[in-house]
Amino acid sequence: MPVQMHDGRVDWVDYAKGFCIVFVVMMHSVLGVEAAAGQTGWMNHVVEFARPFRMPDFFMISGLFLANVIDRDWRTYLDRKVVHFFYFYLLWTAIQFAFKAPGFIAEQGVAGVVHAYLMSFIEPFGTLWFIYLLPIFFVFIKLTKRVPWPVLWLIGAAMEISHVETGWMIPDEFAARFIYVYTGYIAARYIFAVTAWAQARPQLGMAALVVWGIVNGLMVKAGVAALPFYSLALGLVGAAAVATIASLLSLHDVFKPLRYCGRNSIVIYLAFFLPMAASRAVLLKTHIITDIGTISVLVTAAGVIGALIVYWAVRGTFLKFLFERPAIFWLVPKKEKSAEKKPEFTLQPAE
C-alpha cells in the first residue's frame, strides 16, 4: 500500500505529531489549571494515561528521518539540525521572558531576572526544553554513527531504566529520552513497516490498539508506569501505538485539522503558552464555567488554536521571523539548499 502524502510530507507522521503536540498542550493546560484552581479535574486521567508515551513518541518521530541527512557535510547538517532549533529557542525564550519579566522582577528583582535569563542558555527555560535538547541528540548521533547500533541502543536503554536525577534538566532528559530518538533513527524502516501493516489490516490494527490501551491504562492505574523497565517498555510500545493510530487516521484523512496541527507542530509548541495562560486566567476568574475538567479542555483548545491564529496573523508580514528562520541565520544559503542532492530515502520529515 503506497504511503499517503501531501506536499512531500508523510500523512501519518503529521498525524502522529499532531496527536502528540495536542497532548503536550493538554498536559501543560490541565496541570496549570489544576495548580491555579487547587483542584483536580477529570482531564487529569487523560493526561496520566498519555504520560508513558507522549514524549517518547515525539522523540521517536524526531529521529525517524535522521538517516536521510546524517551523512551530509557538517556545515549543512548543523544548519538543518542545530542552528534551526537554537534560533527558535533563543527567540522564543526572549519572548517568554518579556511576558514574564514583570512578575519575575516583583519576586526576584532585576538581578534575579538577568540571572534567570543567563541560566536559560545552559538550563532550558519553561516549555522550550524539547527544542533545546533535540540538537544535542542530533550532534551526538552523528558523532557516534560508527559505533555499532546495538551498543548505543543498550546504553540508551540502560540510561532510561536508570532514571538519572542530577537536578539538571539536560543530563536528566538526555538519559531519559535518547533511547527514543535513537530507536526512531535505527528502526525507521521497521516503524514504516508496522504502519503499512496496520493500514493493510485496519481491523487487526484496531484490535492491537485496544489491547495496548487496556494494558497501558492498567499499568498507569497500578502506579507502575513510571518504574524502571516498565517506563521503557510502555514508552516504546506506546510510541508504536501512536504511529499505528496515526497510520489508520491517514487512511481516509478524515481528521485533517489534526494533520494540520502536526504539520505545524513547532508553531504550536512555540506559541501555545500565551493563549493558554490568558484563557486560563479568564476562565478561572470569571467563574462562568466551574468544572475543572471542562476548563482544562477549553484552555487546551485555546492554546492550540491561539498559537495557529498567531501564525496565520504574522505569515506574509515582517513578523514572519517568529516562525520562519531568516536567511541571515542560515549557514547554508537557500540556493545551496535547493541544489542539495535529495536523499535516497525520499520520505520527508515533518518539521
Number of other residues whose CB lies within 10 A of the CB of residue 246? 28
Residue 345 lies inside a defined structural domain of this protein:
no
Residue 204 lies inside a defined structural domain of this protein:
yes
Residue 349 lies inside a defined structural domain of this protein:
no
Residue 20 lies inside a defined structural domain of this protein:
yes
Residue 1 has a pLDDT of 60
Residue 151 lies inside a defined structural domain of this protein:
yes
C-alpha cell at 188: 525507521
Residue 314 lies inside a defined structural domain of this protein:
yes
Using left for φ > 0, alpha for ψ between -120 and 50, and beta otherwise, residue 270 falls in: alpha
Q: Sign of torsion, CA 93 273 127 308? A: negative
Distance (Å, whole) CA 203 – CA 45: 27
Q: Which domain holds residue 60?
A: 5-339
pLDDT in tens, the chain (351 residues): 667 878 789 999 999 999 999 999 999 999 999 999 999 999 999 999 999 999 999 999 999 999 999 999 999 999 999 999 999 999 999 999 888 888 888 888 888 888 889 999 999 988 899 999 999 999 999 999 999 999 999 999 999 999 999 999 999 999 999 999 999 999 999 999 999 999 999 999 999 999 999 999 999 999 999 999 999 999 999 999 999 999 999 998 989 999 999 999 999 999 999 999 999 999 999 999 999 999 999 999 999 999 999 999 999 999 999 999 999 999 987 654 444 444 333 333 334
Q: Check residue 319 and report its DSSP letter.
A: G
Residue 334 has a pLDDT of 67
Residue 282 has a pLDDT of 97
Residue 219 has a pLDDT of 98
Residue 113 has a pLDDT of 84
Residue 351 lies inside a defined structural domain of this protein:
no
Beta-strand pair 9-10/5-6: antiparallel
Residue 29 lies inside a defined structural domain of this protein:
yes
Contact between 182 and 63 under an 8 Å Cβ cutoff? The reply is yes
C-alpha cell at 14: 503529521
Q: How many distinct structural domains can be found in the chain? A: 1
Residue 183 has a pLDDT of 98
Residue partners of 175: CB distance under 8 A and separation at least 6: 159, 160, 162, 163, 164
pTM for the model: 0.91
Distance (Å, whole) CA 178 – CA 292: 35
